[in-house]
A and B are shown apart, each in its own frame.
Chain A
Amino acid sequence: MTSITVNVDGASYTDEVEPRMLLVQYLREQLGKTGTVVGCDTTNCGACTVHLDGRSVKSCSVLAVQADGHEVTTIEGLATNGELHPMQEAFHESHALQCGYCTPGMIMQAIDLLMDNPDPSEQEVREGLEGNLCRCTGYQNIVKAVRAAAKAGA
């Protein structure tokens, strides 16, 4: 077991973890941050996307020990004082989710995308979300939501 200290969604946690424990397992199983979900075992689906020091990572491809001393933001840490992040609002407004399983990862990735490119074209949004799979929406409203959030200055 290894001791790690991680700041997750604004709170600091110190825990003993197995060296092989994935960040997503640490978030879900140890911290109860079940908003971040697992959709595959090959890093293809992006359902587990979180921010590590402000940039998106697939938390199934990061070990918990690698997060030691770093800052993690999950979907549960996005809203501030009950006010949704503009990207969360945009997903709601554009009906960019159905079952919602991919949604936390999709939102985290979309926020990251806008950090690099604050006003992406439709094609740039599609390419920027390539690593996140959705089976319900056909992506059309997700693309719409991300562009709407960009317009709103998210």
Chain B
Amino acid sequence: MTATTDAPAMEVGRDRRRKEDRRLITGRTRWTDNLSAPGMLHIAMVRSPVAHATIGAVNVKAAQEASGVVAVVTGADLADEQGTLPNVWSITPDQKVPPHPSVAVDTVRFAGEVVAVVVARSAAEARDAIELVDVDYDDLPVVLDTRDALADGATILHPDLGTNESAHLVLDFQTEGAAGNVDAVIETASKDGIVFEREYEQQRLIPAFMEPRSMLCDPTGEQIVLWSATQIPHVLRVLLALSLGVSESKLRVVAPDVGGGFGGKLQVTPEEFITVLVARRLGKPCKYTETRSESLMVAHHGRAQHQKLTLAAKKDGTVTGLKVELEADMGAYLSLLGGGTPTLGAFMFNAIYKFDAYRFDLRTVFTNKAWTDAYRGAGRPEATFGIERLMDDFAHELGMDPLELREKNWIRHEEFPFTTVAGLEYDSGNYEAATAKAKELFGYDELRAEQAERRDRKDPVQLGIGVSTYTEMCGLAPSRILGALSYAAGGWEHASVRMLPTGKVEVITGSSAHGQGHETAWSQIAADALGVDFDDIEVLHGDTAVASRGMDTYGSRSLVVGGMAVVAAAEKVVEKAKVIAAHMLEASPDDVDFAGGAFSVRGTDQAKSMAEVAFAAFAAHDLPDGVEPTLEGDATIDPNTFSYPHGTHLCAVEVDTETGQVTIRKYVCVDDIGKVVNPLIVEGQVHGGVVQGIAQALFEEAVYDESGTLVTGSFTDYLVPSAADLPTMVTDRTETPATTNPLGVKGVGEAGTIASTPAVVNAAVDALRPYGVDDITMPLSPQRVWRAIQDGADR
């Protein structure tokens, strides 16, 4: 038989519509809360209404007797078996990690902490019964701000630790040939140059994924099965095993369809531990689904950082050094990554700029608030905000255009690969090209002219222009680097590519998607590598019984690490198939070429298709000596380095100086994420990312009152923006391929969020410079903006 194949168009680079969509637009989705098991019981949590208290008597009698209630479990009941929730990142050797029981035993340290668990036959009965659990709280003083927490005489959240400081990390960097460390550079600048200091506030945010977290544990089989709306089924399995003393082989974790995460589902949660513990104790399937109010209160928050930046520069604006001092609010306990999230920012404050000396000084601090951890960008948005706000403020100080100041200091495209002051080697980039394109799309010069004109005529609605020329590190992460940073695990990713006997393909990925479109993008990658049809590929993920190895999805790592594992696994399939095909064709493998899904003997019309080879490998009637039956490839990729997307975002806002209202007039982003697998998916990631960053700038903040109660505990008060609140943005790209992976890709999941917040705030501040405004604390509510204008006038 002769196979003839027209070389198909390449899949990578095509605007493929997503495979995932069909089930999502027809409502045939497997969200965790849609699942049930025979005899399933429902869990509701009794949560502390106070932020800091010792727990007295917990009276569960009335609840136990309530209709449908099967059990009420307290912290004391679980004290011997619940262990402590894990923290996996020791940012310093002496980092202080307090014990964190899933159900509080003797003290509660933030409002919302679980103090008892009700299990009932229906969800409604469980919720009714939590009202009947009577808990005595002896209030303790609350500490809500990191500065107060570090002050002498502050109430200590964890008395055994003796301090509210979890860790103090200092990283001192200087380039080869630098005149000295950052202190010396600042000293020099104070004599012959400029020392420029600013403090900024990264407010506390809530990831606010749309699907509330849900988990279902079935302990009745040979394995305990946990379905959970998580980003990290593999990591969760390992940590459940280590923390609860269950054999890992007796655990299966499944993340079915997961409705968004943004880092918020990158956690090992009390609720998951409780669901497993209670199901195991009762020997019955148990499900817990949080309410939105619970989700906003206790699912981890993000950002929450005081920043103090000191820049040293020459008089012409050439930056020579940077000192960064941070206080990061950990909340009441150390989360999974804990201080590791702000630590990721350590490598990004220097951003796209060249200078000689840099110090990163971080204190991680406990307060009586919900714990914090990764939120889209995780440490990098905070760093980018700090440096990009600083560059705009410094440009104003010098009377320079903010883009001109950046150009003076950024790495020029011909200088790549470039080793930054923080020690990372940026492989590629072209800041000039992205900026030029963005300026043109934006109409930068015209808008500057309009701004000047409005200033001249004292228009009550002022125009401001904000710049953000960001970079970020993606593709978390080289395991060796994670090890050097004392992170407990590696950063590799695994994939299997299986040719089925019928010629169809299964791609199994350890990267667990929750909206990113892996099923489509991985199919495109595998289609090209194997020469098979896009529609003949099925991508499987999110179940530890199916995808046996994995490190899951976060840190814009999926494509750069997980996608490369698919490439490598497919290459192994082709390699093995070639040997079989050569045997079938009675030729030497050296004389066989593979193209367009067919193996052909060079210089002849003799060929075998991939499907024919797959069947031959399955039948195994006549395989070459030493070749095992079946056709599949396995690959685990551990990247050598990070990837470095970058881009230029320009924002124009109109600020009504009489009302304080900030309205985005134009938003242009030009991102360079290297080669693109699916432009449609990329554009969607940018839109959503930019909007989350705009939301931080203008709308969102987790607000606590003085007693430590979360005031923004529902979507009525926590302002996730709606379509009506947002502009239509202009997106475009430049393409400077990464040199560190075979597809030249860099990752895009977090870029928009990292870039956009400083662009928006810079624009608003720029609009109000003539009013004496040099900073406005986020979110830029009309009241805050109006107040900043009044305060500026008073100065």
Contact = CB atoms under 8 A, between A and B. Distances in A.
B687 A100 contact: no
A135 B260 contact: yes
B34 A34 contact: yes
B735 interface: no
A56 B257 CA distance: 26
Interface string B624-666: 0000000000000000000000000000000000000000000
Contact of A95 (B209, B683, B716): B683
B722 A92 contact: no
A116 interface: no
A98 B517 contact: yes
Interface in B258-304: 258-260, 262, 291-293
Nearest to A98: B515
Interface string A72-98: 001110110000100010011101011
A100 B24 CA distance: 5
A37 B25 CA distance: 12
Contacts of A95: 17-18, 680-681, 683-684
Contact of B27 (A76, A127, A139, A143): A76
A71 to B, nearest CB: 17
Interface in B394-447: none
Interface string B227-262: 000000000000000000000000000000111101
B27 A39 contact: no
A4 B514 CA distance: 37
Interface in B9-58: 17-18, 20-29, 31, 33-34
Contacts of A91: 21, 25
Nearest to A144: B728
Interface string A131-151: 111111111111100000000
Nearest to A129: B723
A53 B686 CA distance: 38
A122 B728 contact: yes
Contact of A135 (B29, B208, B291, B714): B208
B27 A75 contact: yes
Contact of A100 (B515, B714, B728): B515
B29 A143 contact: no
Interface string A23-47: 0000010000111111111101101
B610 interface: no
Interface in A94-115: 95, 97-104, 107
B722 A132 contact: yes
A142 to B, nearest CB: 7
A138 to B, nearest CB: 3
Given A99-B514, A100-B257, A143-B728, A137 B687 contact: yes
Nearest to B16: A95
A135 B25 contact: no
Interface residues of A, number: 55
Interface size class of B (residues with CB under 8 A): 35 or more
A20 B574 CA distance: 60
B211 A99 contact: yes
Given A37-B211, A98-B516, A101-B260, A84 B26 contact: yes
A47 to B, nearest CB: 6
A38 B214 CA distance: 12
B484 interface: no
B62 interface: no
Interface in B683-706: 683-685, 687-692
A140 B729 contact: yes
A110 B642 CA distance: 41
Contact of A133 (B18, B20, B210, B258): B210
B20 A100 contact: yes
A125 interface: yes
Contact of B31 (A34, A78, A88): A34
A88 B21 CA distance: 9
B732 to A, nearest CB: 14
B514 A103 contact: no
Contacts of B724: 126-127, 129-130
B29 A35 contact: yes
B726 interface: yes
Contacts of A101: 31, 209-211, 259-260
Given A92-B21, A99-B514, A41 B687 contact: no
A36 B715 contact: no
B292 A41 contact: yes
Contacts of B18: 92, 95
Interface of B: 17-18, 20-29, 31, 33-34, 124, 208-212, 257-260, 262, 291-293, 514-517, 680-681, 683-685, 687-692, 714-716, 720, 722-724, 726, 728-729, 752
17 contacts: A18-B124, A34-B27, A37-B31, A42-B292, A75-B25, A92-B17, A95-B17, A99-B260, A99-B515, A126-B723, A129-B724, A130-B722, A131-B722, A135-B692, A135-B720, A138-B688, A138-B690
Given A95-B681, A131-B722, 5 more contacts: A99-B258, A126-B724, A129-B722, A138-B689, A141-B687
